[in-house]
A and B are shown apart, each in its own frame.
Chain A
Amino acid sequence: MSSSSPPVGAASAAISASEKVDGFTRKSVRKAQRQKRSQGSSQFRSQGSQAELHPLPQLKDATSNEQQELFCQKLQQCCILFDFMDSVSDLKSKEIKRATLNELVEYVSTNRGVIVESAYSDIVKMISANIFRTLPPSDNPDFDPEEDEPTLEASWPHIQLVYEFFLRFLESPDFQPSIAKRYIDQKFVQQLLELFDSEDPRERDFLKTVLHRIYGKFLGLRAFIRKQINNIFLRFIYETEHFNGVAELLEILGSIINGFALPLKAEHKQFLMKVLIPMHTAKGLALFHAQLAYCVVQFLEKDTTLTEPVIRGLLKFWPKTCSQKEVMFLGEIEEILDVIEPTQFKKIEEPLFKQISKCVSSSHFQVAERALYFWNNEYILSLIEENIDKILPIMFGSLYKISKEHWNPTIVALVYNVLKTLMEMNGKLFDDLTGSYKAERQREKKKELEREELWKKLEELKLKKALEKQNSAYNMHSILSNTSDE
């Protein structure tokens, strides 16, 4: 059956005539087409023709003896899947299943005592049959989550109700993890985690809540869940650079970290340093930076001694060419500085302010502006004042230079304010630095020249060596060729 992907050509042919401005259809037009598309999933391939569903009697009409039996029958009925890419097939059966799912949701949320031990197996089976599937390939190979509309799950009318049911089941007062853990096991969670790659934000949102509940109720699965998330992130950072559900998983982690006991286990620290920090290098950082920064700050609030390695890590991965990311990094640094302890601040002030001084003199005004905004933060200002002897010499050069030559008047104005603040903090040092500024620049230039000189000499040395060797090789060669000539 080749009907799982919608025809694309027809639509593009339709616009080509009218949109032929310069060979490129306008992005808005292309987007509009894409929005309409939704994706199926690979799950129908093995099922032959669909069995037609027949409506069962309503649960509320059944006697309490029959109810349990009927409940299970309905669950089994809902295990049958329908092809939503084909919008005209099985309409009647689809409607029956939708109504049944609605009824099931209603049933478990309003009735007490209906989730009995024998039902767990059927419940989990029904959920698995519906939500676990291989996610289909993305329609748009260079899908840009920031720009493009996501492809929506075609079978959402059913899947949504299944998720709804799943949540009600987990949240029901009758729900007993000790029974459920026989069915909701590692394999189940593993499959659930894979679904986080779904392009459909509605599905990811449900998954987030579901996983959060599972993490809360199944103590035995906690370590496993953390480890699998760990693996997903590592794969995202170092292998595929693509995973749709990073933000959602980070959000769950944020609440998990919040609950870590002190002192932090080595495992958690490792996660921070080897997973969360390298995650800042990802291309699509903008999509999950808020959640990521939240996690990092959570860690630092738990254990302040992590401040130094975290900041050094961020400095190591500081963006070199992407200004947008640089602004995000600066935002995160400010969040960290908001909670930093003065003793920790002393440990990182030097490398940190060297970076800030570079940012301040960035020719991209948003970067410069974001860095200069640090001086509006009372707490940061107090930290700077306490350590003005260290910080002023680092910052002075760039600030002085920009005040003279930055192209953007707003930045120049901000820099003047900052210079003024710094001057008020330590007037004498400020004057000294102003005085020695020129000499300093000259010394730098001289050093530069010396370096070039050094390398030149080194190069000569190499040439000399190479020459020697060539000579000896040549001698060797001529000896050899002489002997072979004979």
Chain B
Amino acid sequence: MAGAAGPGTGPVAAGGDGDDSLYPIAVLIDELRNEDVQLRLNSIKKLSTIALALGVERTRTELLPFLTDTIYDEDEVLLALAEQLGNFTGLVGGPDFAHCLLPPLESLATVEETVVRDKAVESLRQISQEHTPIALEAHFVPLVKRLASGDWFTSRTSACGLFSVCYPRASNAVKAEIRQHFRSLCSDDTPMVRRAAASKLGEFAKVLELDSVKSEIVPLFTNLASDEQDSVRLLAVEACVSIAQLLSQEDLEALVMPTLRQAAEDKSWRVRYMVADKFSELQKAVGPKITLNDLIPAFQNLLKDCEAEVRAAAAHKVKELCENLPPEGRETIIMNQILPFIKELVSDTNQHVKSALASVIMGLSTILGKENTIEHLLPLFLAQLKDECPEVRLNIISNLDCVNEVIGIRQLSQSLLPAIVELAEDAKWRVRLAIIEYMPLLAGQLGVQFFDEKLNSLCMAWLVDHVYAIREAATNNLMKLVKKFGTEWAQNTIVPKVLVMASDPNYLHRMTTLFCINALSEACGQEITTKQMLPIVLKMAGDQVANVRFNVAKSLQKIGPILDTDALQEEVKPILQKLGQDEDVDVKYFAQEALSAVAQRLRKLDFPAKDSEEPSAPGADKNHFLRPRGPGEDTGKFVPLMSRHTQSERLGWFPRRQ
């Protein structure tokens, strides 16, 4: 950001300020010593401002030493500092002076809190790139070495992340030293350090010469992969992906595969899980031949692992694994070596496993083609559609489009229906919500007749669901269906049912009618709106619940553009004027909003504007969004309670997963 400030502009800027220049550092020091963490944090976040004000030279000679000396603070402040320093090169005078930033970052890289340390390492990595090769050897590499031989584990952990950035640009002698340090960290006696080293092993291998990879990295890898702690071993699996990419097939077979085979059968499920989780990456890294010989059998074992976690992770990878197999012979391999295991998983005892499989299994149909799908996969889909766990069924239905491409959805429709009906009534509203979202897609694929017979009643039932989010989604769903099936269909099947709800004893259902009208009017067009919907809306203006009344006002505003001038002038306006005098403030407010919108529309339609008494105060528009609605404004009436109710229904449940 301040990279443009070369050494040239620095002195000029710093020199010109006179007394002013004393000022920033004084503020900073004052603020950094403040008792309030927030203030200390603020001043640290403005560090670049201060540095800029000071100029590069004084930043180097005063600010940085000050920061280095005062590093003892709340972790939050340190985190901000570590982050800031990463972008400071320009502010200290460019690459030639980048090394000035190392001392404070070095201290930050040794603190206890992981977040701070990681950020310091990230900044150090960034800065390392800005060093000249000479400066790198003179300043950066010694820092890495100091960290690598630190007393407390934190500094050694941080060092692990710095080897790979300085190695490529170091001279051969220094390279040897760096490798030596890395080696010793890989066998550190603190597991935290070994974990850090294991997690950087792949990254480090990539910057090493091939010979060193073979002679040094591979033994380290083998050691880490047989570490006594499973948390270390599982990280070695990750490194395996990077290392495998570097080696020839022959070396791979000799140097890496024995370890990988062992990892796939590790006694700790965490390691096996990792193998399953990284399977696609591993598959790509080792190439097709080893995949066939080694990985497929390993994968079979993972699919029937005794831990559900491992099986689920493997099940997730089924599709990717199949996709990545070489095209020739792929079908046979899948049919003979993978499918039998998948069949077992369909009736697994664990729902997470089944659900993981259900989320990818449909993808196999495109790979295997129509015949195989019908013969082998379809029975599995059907079984999963009848699964006792809603998530499994949902995952199948969400991926119907894959099968649709291959065999058409008709094949499935008979089994589909019971599954859909059950999901539509599932106890979890998120499941219901998800199935609603697939309705338009299903409707399109199944056709009007099928839909009317089987699914229409479901769609209407959702309108009276007890969860607002479902009612809302159901409303939108209707609109999409009307767009798909046309207005005539809407008039015959949907609209009458919606309008009946206008006289429901439950005010929430009455409001749903209004919401439906809002959503449907545009798709239904002027005639249906004027003749069928409008009378109902107008009738509801006399509702006893204020929420219904102000929603009438909102609906009238919403459908206004669809109505003709007669209806607006003769029917809508009088009602809105009446609502404008309502005893409830919210009703009044929305009625006035709507009135001004209607008036505007009438003017646009070139109607003589006689409505000077219209309360279209200029302020009304401005207030529209600001106006607090609901709580506190009224005394114990229905309105505030209601607006809180709809909100809490959504917000209250939201953070809770299923």
A-side residues, CB < 8 A to B, are 1-10, 12-13, 16-17, 19-20, 22-25, 42, 44-46, 134, 136-137, 187, 190, 231, 234-235, 238-239, 274, 278, 316, 354, 451, 454-455, 457-459, 461-462, 465-466, 468-469, 472-473
Instruction: Indicate if the CB atoms of B307 and A136 lie closer than 8 Å.
Output: yes
Q: Which applies to chain A's interface (DSSP): helix, strand, loop or mixed?
A: helix
In addition to A1-B306, A2-B348, 8 A-B residue pairs with Cβ atoms within 8 Å of each other are A42-B267, A187-B228, A231-B192, A278-B112, A454-B23, A455-B27, A458-B46, A461-B53
Instruction: Indicate if the CB atoms of B46 and A235 lie closer than 8 Å.
Output: no
Within the complex, what minimum Cβ distance (angstroms) separates A450 from chain B? 10
Residues 403-434 of B at the A interface (beta carbon under 8 Å): 426-430, 432
Please report the C-alpha to C-alpha distance between residue A458 and residue B48 in the assembled complex, in whole angstroms: 11
Instruction: Indicate if the CB atoms of B228 and A457 lie closer than 8 Å.
Output: no
Instruction: Indicate if the CB atoms of A4 and B427 lie closer than 8 Å.
Output: no
Instruction: Indicate if the CB atoms of B114 and A22 lie closer than 8 Å.
Output: no
Contact residues in A for B269 (Cβ distance below 8 Å):
42, 134, 136-137
The reply on B304 being an interface residue by CB < 8 A is yes
Chain B contact residues (Cβ within 8 angstroms of A): what range?
Answer: 35 or more
Closest residue of chain A to B433 (Cβ to Cβ) is A23
Within the complex, what minimum Cβ distance (angstroms) separates B48 from chain A? 8
- Contacts A23-B467, A134-B267, A472-B9 given; indicate if A5 touches B308 (C-beta within 8 A): yes
B-side residues, CB < 8 A to A, are 2, 4-5, 9, 13, 17, 20, 23-24, 27, 31, 35, 39, 46, 49-50, 52-53, 74, 112-114, 152-153, 190-192, 195, 228, 230-231, 267-270, 304-309, 311, 344, 348-351, 354, 387-389, 426-430, 432, 466-467, 653, 656
Closest residue of chain B to A240 (Cβ to Cβ) is B231
Please tell me which one of the listed residues A9, A274, A316, A354 contacts residue B387 in the complex, with CB atoms under 8 A apart. A9
Within the complex, what minimum Cβ distance (angstroms) separates B7 from chain A? 13
| Central interface residue in A1, A2, A190, A472, by most chain B CB within 10 Å | A2
Contact residues in A for B348 (Cβ distance below 8 Å):
2
Instruction: Indicate if the CB atoms of B52 and A462 lie closer than 8 Å.
Output: yes
Contact residues in A for B35 (Cβ distance below 8 Å):
354
Instruction: Indicate if the CB atoms of A274 and B112 lie closer than 8 Å.
Output: yes
Instruction: Indicate if the CB atoms of B307 and A6 lie closer than 8 Å.
Output: no
Contact residues in A for B27 (Cβ distance below 8 Å):
454-455, 458
Within the complex, what minimum Cβ distance (angstroms) separates B227 from chain A? 12
7 contacts between A and B (CB under 8 A): A5-B308, A16-B426, A23-B427, A23-B428, A458-B50, A461-B20, A469-B13
Instruction: Indicate if the CB atoms of A10 and B388 lie closer than 8 Å.
Output: yes
Please report the C-alpha to C-alpha distance between residue A238 and residue B427 in the assembled complex, in whole angstroms: 39
Please report the C-alpha to C-alpha distance between residue A1 and residue B429 in the assembled complex, in whole angstroms: 35
Contact residues in B for A20 (Cβ distance below 8 Å):
427
The 3 closest A-B pairs by CB, nearest first: A23-B429, A9-B389, A9-B388
Please report the C-alpha to C-alpha distance between residue A233 and residue B202 in the assembled complex, in whole angstroms: 28
- Contacts A4-B306, A16-B427, A187-B228 given; indicate if A469 touches B349 (C-beta within 8 A): no
Within the complex, what minimum Cβ distance (angstroms) separates B392 from chain A? 8
Within the complex, what minimum Cβ distance (angstroms) separates B28 from chain A? 9
Contact residues in A for B5 (Cβ distance below 8 Å):
469
Within the complex, what minimum Cβ distance (angstroms) separates B31 from chain A? 7
Contact residues in B for A468 (Cβ distance below 8 Å):
9, 13
Within the complex, what minimum Cβ distance (angstroms) separates A472 from chain B? 6
Instruction: Indicate if the CB atoms of A137 and B309 lie closer than 8 Å.
Output: yes
Instruction: Indicate if the CB atoms of B74 and A316 lie closer than 8 Å.
Output: yes
Please report the C-alpha to C-alpha distance between residue A481 and residue B213 in the assembled complex, in whole angstroms: 47
Within the complex, what minimum Cβ distance (angstroms) separates A473 from chain B? 5
Contact residues in A for B190 (Cβ distance below 8 Å):
231
Contact residues in A for B13 (Cβ distance below 8 Å):
465, 468-469
Contact residues in B for A1 (Cβ distance below 8 Å):
304, 306
Please tell me which one of the listed residues B192, B387, B466, B653 contacts residue A239 in the complex, with CB atoms under 8 A apart. B192
Contact residues in A for B24 (Cβ distance below 8 Å):
458, 461
Instruction: Indicate if the CB atoms of A473 and B4 lie closer than 8 Å.
Output: yes
Instruction: Indicate if the CB atoms of A466 and B52 lie closer than 8 Å.
Output: yes
Closest residue of chain A to B151 (Cβ to Cβ) is A270
Within the complex, what minimum Cβ distance (angstroms) separates B29 from chain A? 12
Closest residue of chain B to A320 (Cβ to Cβ) is B37
Instruction: Indicate if the CB atoms of A2 and B311 lie closer than 8 Å.
Output: yes
Closest residue of chain A to B267 (Cβ to Cβ) is A134
Contact residues in A for B426 (Cβ distance below 8 Å):
16, 23
Within the complex, what minimum Cβ distance (angstroms) separates A135 from chain B? 9
Contact residues in B for A459 (Cβ distance below 8 Å):
49
Instruction: Indicate if the CB atoms of A25 and B427 lie closer than 8 Å.
Output: yes
Please report the C-alpha to C-alpha distance between residue A461 and residue B50 in the assembled complex, in whole angstroms: 9
Instruction: Indicate if the CB atoms of B49 and A42 lie closer than 8 Å.
Output: no
Closest residue of chain A to B16 (Cβ to Cβ) is A468
Within the complex, what minimum Cβ distance (angstroms) separates A476 from chain B? 8
Closest residue of chain B to A312 (Cβ to Cβ) is B72
Instruction: Indicate if the CB atoms of B52 and A235 lie closer than 8 Å.
Output: no
Instruction: Indicate if the CB atoms of A22 and B349 lie closer than 8 Å.
Output: no
Contact residues in A for B270 (Cβ distance below 8 Å):
134
| Central interface residue in A1, A9, A316, A455, by most chain B CB within 10 Å | A9
Contact residues in B for A274 (Cβ distance below 8 Å):
112, 152
Please tell me which one of the listed residues A13, A136, A137, A238 contacts residue B112 in the complex, with CB atoms under 8 A apart. A238
Contact residues in B for A454 (Cβ distance below 8 Å):
23, 27
Please report the C-alpha to C-alpha distance between residue A234 and residue B112 in the assembled complex, in whole angstroms: 9
Contact residues in B for A19 (Cβ distance below 8 Å):
427
Instruction: Indicate if the CB atoms of A5 and B349 lie closer than 8 Å.
Output: yes
Please report the C-alpha to C-alpha distance between residue A482 and residue B2 in the assembled complex, in whole angstroms: 24
- Contacts A3-B349, A4-B306 given; indicate if A22 touches B429 (C-beta within 8 A): yes
Please report the C-alpha to C-alpha distance between residue A190 and residue B189 in the assembled complex, in whole angstroms: 13
Instruction: Indicate if the CB atoms of A458 and B53 lie closer than 8 Å.
Output: yes
Please report the C-alpha to C-alpha distance between residue A239 and residue B24 in the assembled complex, in whole angstroms: 39
Please report the C-alpha to C-alpha distance between residue A13 and residue B2 in the assembled complex, in whole angstroms: 61
Contact residues in B for A316 (Cβ distance below 8 Å):
74
Contact residues in A for B113 (Cβ distance below 8 Å):
238
Instruction: Indicate if the CB atoms of B304 and A2 lie closer than 8 Å.
Output: yes
Closest residue of chain A to B49 (Cβ to Cβ) is A462
Please report the C-alpha to C-alpha distance between residue A42 and residue B427 in the assembled complex, in whole angstroms: 34
Within the complex, what minimum Cβ distance (angstroms) separates B209 from chain A? 33
Within the complex, what minimum Cβ distance (angstroms) separates B53 from chain A? 4
Instruction: Indicate if the CB atoms of B350 and A8 lie closer than 8 Å.
Output: yes
Closest residue of chain A to B465 (Cβ to Cβ) is A23
Please report the C-alpha to C-alpha distance between residue A278 and residue B74 in the assembled complex, in whole angstroms: 12
Please report the C-alpha to C-alpha distance between residue A10 and residue B52 in the assembled complex, in whole angstroms: 66
Contact residues in A for B304 (Cβ distance below 8 Å):
1-2
Closest residue of chain B to A15 (Cβ to Cβ) is B427
Instruction: Indicate if the CB atoms of A455 and B350 lie closer than 8 Å.
Output: no
Instruction: Indicate if the CB atoms of B306 and A42 lie closer than 8 Å.
Output: yes
Within the complex, what minimum Cβ distance (angstroms) separates A428 from chain B? 27
Please tell me which one of the listed residues A44, A278, A473 contacts residue B306 in the complex, with CB atoms under 8 A apart. A44
Within the complex, what minimum Cβ distance (angstroms) separates A363 from chain B? 17
Within the complex, what minimum Cβ distance (angstroms) separates B78 from chain A? 11
Instruction: Indicate if the CB atoms of A4 and B53 lie closer than 8 Å.
Output: no
Please report the C-alpha to C-alpha distance between residue A2 and residue B344 in the assembled complex, in whole angstroms: 10
Within the complex, what minimum Cβ distance (angstroms) separates A128 from chain B? 13
Please report the C-alpha to C-alpha distance between residue A239 and residue B387 in the assembled complex, in whole angstroms: 38
Instruction: Indicate if the CB atoms of A22 and B467 lie closer than 8 Å.
Output: yes
Within the complex, what minimum Cβ distance (angstroms) separates A62 from chain B? 36
Instruction: Indicate if the CB atoms of A137 and B307 lie closer than 8 Å.
Output: yes
Please report the C-alpha to C-alpha distance between residue A383 and residue B27 in the assembled complex, in whole angstroms: 37
Closest residue of chain A to B42 (Cβ to Cβ) is A455
Within the complex, what minimum Cβ distance (angstroms) separates B320 from chain A? 22
Contact residues in A for B430 (Cβ distance below 8 Å):
23
Closest residue of chain B to A273 (Cβ to Cβ) is B112
Please report the C-alpha to C-alpha distance between residue A16 and residue B429 in the assembled complex, in whole angstroms: 12
Please tell me which one of the listed residues A6, A187, A231, A469 contacts residue B4 in the complex, with CB atoms under 8 A apart. A469
Within the complex, what minimum Cβ distance (angstroms) separates B301 from chain A? 9
Within the complex, what minimum Cβ distance (angstroms) separates A266 from chain B? 11
| Central interface residue in B31, B270, B387, B427, by most chain A CB within 10 Å | B427
Within the complex, what minimum Cβ distance (angstroms) separates B235 from chain A? 12
- Contacts A134-B230, A468-B13 given; indicate if A4 touches B429 (C-beta within 8 A): no
Instruction: Indicate if the CB atoms of B432 and A23 lie closer than 8 Å.
Output: yes
Within the complex, what minimum Cβ distance (angstroms) separates A241 from chain B? 11
Contact residues in A for B231 (Cβ distance below 8 Å):
235
Contact residues in A for B74 (Cβ distance below 8 Å):
316
